[in-house]
Structure 1
Amino acid sequence: MTLPSSLRAAAVLAACVFTAASAQAALQPGDAAPAFGAEAALGGQTFRFQLAEALGRGPVVLYFFPKAFTQGCTLEAHLFAEASERFAALGATVIGVSADDIGTLQRFSVEACRNKFAVAADAGAQVIRAYDAQLAARPGMADRISYVIGKDGKVAFAHEGADPEAHVERTLKAVQRLAAPAGAAGS
């Protein structure tokens, strides 16, 4: 995505405001990913997302974001949308989760996610808490944390940080490593 450097810098700065008081992600590679289902939206249409069902098709990139339609979260959604074909080519499902209501996420799935991947509503923050992805200063709000979950249901990769672009780049590399044949070097 080609953005003016000043716009990208403003989005990263805004993302830093949300994540300044956060704690490190508790789930680590090798940990079992908590199973969940949530109301989600893709292209403005709602459906029930089930982690177990998605894992039956391949790895899942589960990314948590603080609030739809904020600069950093919109930038992150645009970047995941641009990378969606690369994730899909590797058999991965991308799903974003926030504490926003489903009506907001229906719009966000069209405008920011560009109809490329789903976003799930976690208004009660149950999934956010299960993945220890809450902001320390605002426990009902998600922090910017991304997980890659392997088909075996275990966390293969975890990343926490304010830079939305890093989440896309690092999760894509993690999915590429999962897709690499055993023993392949330098993936």
Structure 2
Amino acid sequence: MRLPLRLLPLSLALIAVPAVAALSTGAAAPDFNTRGAINGKVFRLHLADQLKKGPVVLYFFPAAYTSGCNAEAHEFSEHIDEFKAAGATVIGMSTDAVPTLVKFSTEKCAGKFPVASAGPRIVSAYDVALGKQFTDPKTGKARDITNRTSYVIGRDGKIRFVHSDLSYVDHVKLTLDAVKALK
């Protein structure tokens, strides 16, 4: 089947630009339980328990130990005191295995905030599947990865802010601004 020439620019645009989906502002944040690490120590993470303390910045990143994800984790760690002063908890999420996140939590997050493993149910619930795979250079195993999407979740469990962009550059600034605006 041939595509009419008038539709060719539209079809090329759809192929060239990946669809970015995320949960909408005002939606209920899906609750979950998973394992994660903070400062090299493994722990259980339950989102509902974190929300009892205040708002949560839940940021999904594609893969630990990649340049953008390393830079983003470093930037969050540099600004963690500002998030805490605004009453927020920062949690990084990826499809990395917990042993990888144990090291990442100390080496790239400076032990200042937790990172947790997002399994297929969490990835689906938060609509952050990137539709690509990453092959871990250490293990040689391929796994699905997430889009770089940051959510600010209010204490009431509602999503207050969403930023989805593969560039890490604005995630920290925009989520911090959103947290400060909650007060």
TM range, smaller chain = 0.7 to 0.9
Cα distance change, pair 75–47 in 1 and its aligned pair in 2 (3 A):
same
Q: Does 1:140 align with 2:144?
A: yes
Q: Alpha-carbon deviations, 1:2-60, whole Å to 9, x = none?
A: xxxxxxxxxxxxxxxxxx86432331110000001110100000110111011001000
RMSD (CA atoms): 1.5
Q: How does 1:9-158 map to 2 (within 5 A)?
A: 22-122=18-118, 124-138=119-133, 140-158=144-162
Q: Name the CA distance, whole Å, in 1 between partners of 2:67 and 2:18.
A: 18
Counterpart of 1:75, as a letter, is A
Q: Is the 8 A contact 1:125 1:141 kept in 2?
A: no
Q: Tell me what 1:8 maps to.
A: none
Q: Percent identity?
A: 49
Counterpart of 2:171, as a letter, is H
Cα distance change, pair 108–91 in 1 and its aligned pair in 2 (3 A):
same
User: Quick check: which has more Rg, 1 or 2?
Assistant: 2
Offset of residue 165 of structure 1: 2.5
- Unaligned 5+ runs, structure 1: 1-19, 180-187
Q: How many residues align?
A: 159
Counterpart of 1:136, as a letter, is G
Runs of at least 4 residues of structure 1 off by over 4 A? none
Q: Name the CA distance, whole Å, in 2 between partners of 1:165 and 1:53.
A: 29
TM-score with structure 1 length normalisation? 0.81
Specify the SS of the correspondent of 2:170.
Answer: helix
Q: Which has the higher strand share?
A: 2
1:164 to 126, 148, 168: 168
Q: Name the CA distance, whole Å, in 2 between partners of 1:153 and 1:96.
A: 17
Offset of residue 147 of structure 1: 0.3
Q: Name the CA distance, whole Å, in 1 between partners of 2:42 and 2:17.
A: 32
